[in-house]
Amino acid sequence: MDLRRKGCLILLLVLVLVVNIVKGDNNVVFNVKHKYGGRGGSVLNELKAHDSRRHGRMLAAVDFQLGGNGQPTDAALYYTKLTIGTPPKDYHVQVDTGSDILWVNCAGCRRCPSKSSLGIDLTLYDLKASASGKTVSCDQDFCTDMFNAPYSDCRVGAPCEYQVTYGDGSSTSGYFVKDYIHFDQVSGNLKTTSMNGSIAFGCSSSQSGELGSSTQAVDGIIGFGQANSSLISQLAVSGKVKKVFAHCLDGSNGGGIFAIGQVVQPKVKSTPLVPNEPHYNVVMKGIEVNGKALDIPTTIFDAGSNRGTIIDSGTTLAYLPNKVYNALMDKLMVKQPDLPTHLVEGSFHCFYYRGKVDDGFPVVTFQFASSLSLTVYPHDYLFQVNDNEWCIGWQDSGMQTKDGKEITLLGDLVLSNKLVLYDLENQSIGWTEYNCSSSIRIRDETSGKDYTIGAHNISSASTCNSRMVFAFFVLIISILCNL
């Protein structure tokens, strides 16, 4: 993504995870917690608003412990705990695959939140209080790389400033600093050791809109996008990791696996990423319902000049162009022609059903380039809001590109219970159905050994249920915290 000093960076497709860095060998672990709570129709509006805001934009392995879940009626967002500075302090940040920079709220920030209903203590980063922290000046290479051009109006020694604007109009602005971020590296099977890296990140000095007023506040956002400014890109340049990461979101128990590193087990089939896109876009070829192709033109999936379908684990639902959405909704109810439906929150089609949804509704399969398919079962795209009341997660995209074409975007609704591998080294993305409460095998390229990384779930303060591990490989992949 292009970030201009006086421009607005629209952070699209934000994967929101809360990560808690846990000790480990050659990998960093983020403990992730879900942001939204509660059940029933009242939370659906919040869900749509969240998704809408998101679209307004060598090695060792690192293990990030995760928590939370992607259920529309539960958390629907993830965050993690990051440890920064000397002496180290903990910061809770949303994890976002659709944006690039890491930023945290800083001392003296105007309109930064001071309280959170998420059960976490908010912390302001104080550059003067960290012995290892220092400002990034506008004449340094990092600042030039951020803007892909010389920094305008730069005076030697002046701070490298940034401004980020989200789709809902909220924004954060400030300046870049550099400090140690402490990670847990993977050192063996389910074992980690401590490491740190000097990372440039945003120090937020002012906020507006939702960022400054939300009661469900965190300390900042960590971006896992493809730009040079992202955390994974900075770690890769320093030789600490490779630009390969994977996540496995446990849709049944919550949490899961999120790791950086090359996954060797399970095997994952992949499809090429559409080049020169800021997000993770792939080419969709068609959709099947119970094995029969929908009668829709494949060109309808193009956004702009063959820009493809966006894969975004930070978005909760799945958004389809109007013609695709209508064709799919018609086929979903073929087995239930007499089942009445009703609208909840104006856009969720819901119904009352007492049987097993997997027996009463069809399987939906998306087909992509390189013969990669993605199967979505009824228990994935249907979610229960009350006793025997189910709602359909497919949504009419309602999002337009500059050339007027609708966007196709697949979120947690279809990505849960699958291991998804982002290989930026080879510009591909792939997935396979998997038990996300189990473990995966990651290769440590330094030693050539394979290590097991387990799932974690920090959504519950007292229990260690399902897990969601975000393992960083480049040092090796890390084990996610199980809470």
Residue 17: pLDDT over 90: no
The string of pLDDT tens digits covering residues 171-205 is 889 999 999 998 777 778 887 777 788 999 999 99
Same domain, 213 and 357: no
- Lowest mean per-residue pLDDT among 85-89, 191-195, 320-324: 191-195
Q: How far apart are CA 440 and CA 246, in angstroms?
A: 10
Same domain, 319 and 205: no
- Lowest mean per-residue pLDDT among 8-22, 76-90, 250-264: 8-22
Nearest to 36 by CA among 83, 91, 94, 112: 94
Comparing 456 with 473, the larger pLDDT belongs to 456
First to last CA, the chain: 34
Same domain, 88 and 218: yes
- Lowest mean per-residue pLDDT among 128-132, 284-288, 309-313, 336-340: 309-313
Q: What is the 3-state secondary structure (H, E, C) of 452-479?
A: EEECECCCCCCCCCCCCCEEEEEECCCC
Same domain, 248 and 277: no
Q: How far apart are CA 476 and CA 457, in angstroms?
A: 20
Same domain, 183 and 313: no
Span 331-357, average pLDDT: 92
**Angle made by CA atoms 39, 80, 42, in degrees to the nearest 5:** 15
Domain's final residue, options 258, 290, 320:
258
What band does 212 get if pLDDT is binned at 50, 70 and 90? low
Domain's final residue, options 236, 258, 280:
258
Same domain, 292 and 333: yes
Same domain, 68 and 189: yes
Residue 474: pLDDT over 80: no
Same domain, 299 and 346: yes
Bond from prior residue into 266 cis (ω within 30 degrees of 0):
yes
Comparing 374 with 307, the larger pLDDT belongs to 374
Domain's final residue, options 391, 409, 432:
432
Span 59-73, average pLDDT: 45
The string of pLDDT tens digits covering residues 416-444 is 899 999 999 999 999 999 999 999 999 88
- Lowest mean per-residue pLDDT among 71-80, 169-178, 335-344: 71-80
Instruction: Output the pLDDT for position 213.
Output: 66
Residue 351: pLDDT over 70: yes
Span 241-248, average pLDDT: 88
What band does 52 get if pLDDT is binned at 50, 70 and 90? low
On whether residue 52 sits in a domain, the answer given is: no
Give the other-Cβ count within 10 Å of 334's Cβ: 11
Active site residues: 96, 312
CATH classification of the domain holding 388: 2.40.70.10
215's CB contacts (< 8 A; 6+ apart) are: 115, 116, 117
On whether residue 273 sits in a domain, the answer given is: yes
Name the range with the highest mean pLDDT among 111-125, 204-218, 241-255, 262-276: 262-276
Same domain, 209 and 328: no
* Count of residues making up the chain: 483
Residue 483: pLDDT over 60: no
On whether residue 21 sits in a domain, the answer given is: no
Span 137-149, average pLDDT: 81
What band does 149 get if pLDDT is binned at 50, 70 and 90? low
Same domain, 80 and 210: yes
The string of pLDDT tens digits covering residues 96-133 is 777 788 999 999 998 888 888 777 889 999 999 999 99
Instruction: Output the pLDDT for position 336.
Output: 93
Helix, strand, or coil (residue 233):
helix
- Lowest mean per-residue pLDDT among 62-66, 354-358, 365-369: 62-66
Instruction: Output the pLDDT for position 121.
Output: 87
Domain count, the chain: 2
Comparing 55 with 373, the larger pLDDT belongs to 373
On whether residue 355 sits in a domain, the answer given is: yes
- Write down the mean pLDDT value for the chain: 77
The string of pLDDT tens digits covering residues 370-411 is 999 999 999 999 988 888 999 999 998 876 554 556 788 898
On whether residue 41 sits in a domain, the answer given is: no
- What is the span of the domain harbouring residue 250? 60-258
Name the range with the highest mean pLDDT among 1-5, 79-83, 241-245, 463-467: 241-245
CB 217 within 8 A of CB 122: yes
Same domain, 401 and 299: yes
Residue 236: pLDDT over 50: yes
What band does 458 get if pLDDT is binned at 50, 70 and 90? low
Same domain, 279 and 351: yes
Span 238-251, average pLDDT: 86
Burial of 266 (0-12, 13-18, 19+ CB in 10 A): middle
Comparing 459 with 275, the larger pLDDT belongs to 275
Nearest to 456 by CA among 145, 148, 190: 190
Give the other-Cβ count within 10 Å of 271's Cβ: 22
Place of tokens 């966007």: 407
